[in-house]
Amino acid sequence: MRLDGSGCVLPDADVGGGTAAELHSVGAQPLLLQPNHHHIPFPFFCVGSAFSEDQCAVLEALFLQTNDWQHRDGAFYRCSLCDVSVKIPVSFQAEIVARMRAMTRLPLVDRVVVTAQRMLPGQVIGIHSDRPLLGYEIARLVVQLNKEWQPDHGGVLELFASPEGKAVFTVDPEYNTAFGFALHAESYHGVTEVTQPRKTVVFNFWHVANTPELAAYVQALFADLHFSELPAALDPVASSAESTLPEETTFRAGTAAIALQRLGYDDATIVTGYRHSAGLAVCDTGDAETDAAVLLADWMAYLYRDSFDLTRWNSLRNKLDRVEAVSRLMPAWQLCLPE
């Protein structure tokens, strides 16, 4: 399957924030109208004529002015990148975030980071998922700026169901086409080798509950982490868990226990938290603060050791929905579950 800009156009059920006419009225030009939404191999959308001529001109100019390109020269990820966020008009950024919120239905923060990406002949981007690690972006909009692109120029974006499989969907990098997706552990994609220079602008968006501010808080909470600081009361539980459970699981449970310890909770709560995070027991002590502390510690340990998982986050949010935030947990609570 190929997207050639003239493919079938499905009605946009997700405009959410407004109709096409309203979008005309808020900005000077419409943008990202009529996306084609897909769900295989993972949710994404493509837009044929993404931006107005003026907006394309702003994006193209980014490649003329910038000089501090960072060169990525890994075996699987070869391209040059440059942060051009400050060069994108604030009103343009605001419009794009509003549109991305409507299309992805994700609670995105206002801040956008925009990267100009250049690939030169011979360069290729191998298969990767971009899963959102702690503080990383949750969604991307990839805009192509290759005038007169031809199939033999390469640089086709390929989508995969698994890192070993064959491409399930391909997107040609034609001028003024955009590709948007939510990043997660299985959003596998890559770019085929290019034979002509390839110009792309990537807009990055953050989830309100996986911000760089949360990342700073969690990094500080787990700084200089040594399991030896955990109370002796945990020793028998941890030893027994370590003899039966995968290391990854006990590592995460130990990390959750450290969070509870550093937040000032007593030995009993730390043991309860460890057992909960190791999957040995469901935390239901009947004490609202203890249960909330255990759930938040478990979530922060997961974020720190793994990545931001939307399903898990929704489950945390549902569990703590009606619970009053307590002062000891306030900073973590506000960052993990912002209003």
Ligand X SMILES: O=C(O)CCC(=O)C(=O)O
Q: Distance between CA 130 and CA 126 in Å, rounded?
A: 12
Alpha helices in 142-195 (DSSP H): none
End-to-end CA distance of the chain: 41
Closest among 180, 83, 95 to 140, alpha carbons compared: 180
Closest among 112, 134, 185 to 335, alpha carbons compared: 134
Kindly state whether residue 202 participates in binding ligand X, applying the rule CB under 6 A: yes
Out of 59, 84, 112, 191, the residue judged to bind ligand X by CB under 6 A? 191
Site string for ligand X, 138-177 (x = CB under 6 A): --x-x--------------x--------------------
Kindly state whether residue 200 participates in binding ligand X, applying the rule CB under 6 A: yes
Residue 298 interacting entry, from ligand X, Fe ion, none, C-beta within 5 to 8 Å by type: none
- Point out which residues pair with 170 in neighbouring strands: 2, 158
Q: Which stretch binds Fe ion (CB under 5 A): 35-43, 89-97, 122-130, 131-139?
A: 122-130
92-121 positions binding ligand X, by CB under 6 A:
117
| Residues 6+ away with beta carbon under 8 Å from 163 | 127, 129, 188
In the bound state with ligand X, the residue whose beta carbon lies nearer, of 137 and 298, is: 137
For the bound state, the minimum distance from the C-beta of residue 156 to ligand X, rounded and expressed in Å, comes to: 8
- Indicate if the alpha-carbon torsion angle 269, 326, 208, 85 is positive or negative: negative
Buried b (16+ CB within 10 A) or exposed e, 29-41: ebbbbbbeebeeb
For the bound state, the minimum distance from the C-beta of residue 128 to ligand X, rounded and expressed in Å, comes to: 7
Closest among 164, 146, 162 to 154, alpha carbons compared: 146
Determine the residue type at 212. Answer: P
Backbone φ and ψ for 300, nearest 5 degrees, come out as -65, -35
Kindly state whether residue 130 participates in binding Fe ion, applying the rule CB under 5 A: yes
Kindly state whether residue 125 participates in binding ligand X, applying the rule CB under 6 A: yes
For the bound state, the minimum distance from the C-beta of residue 125 to ligand X, rounded and expressed in Å, comes to: 5
In the bound state with ligand X, the residue whose beta carbon lies nearer, of 23 and 114, is: 114
For the bound state, the minimum distance from the C-beta of residue 189 to ligand X, rounded and expressed in Å, comes to: 6
- Indicate if the alpha-carbon torsion angle 238, 244, 247, 250 is positive or negative: negative
In the bound state with ligand X, the residue whose beta carbon lies nearer, of 78 and 276, is: 78
- Point out which residues pair with 45 in neighbouring strands: 37, 180
In the bound state with ligand X, the residue whose beta carbon lies nearer, of 145 and 263, is: 145
Count of positions on this chain that bind ligand X (CB under 6 A): 10
Out of 130, 137, 298, 309, the residue judged to bind ligand X by CB under 6 A? 130
Which residues contribute to the site for ligand X (CB under 6 A)? Answer: 117, 125, 130, 140, 142, 157, 189, 191, 200, 202
Which residues contribute to the site for Fe ion (CB under 5 A)? Answer: 130
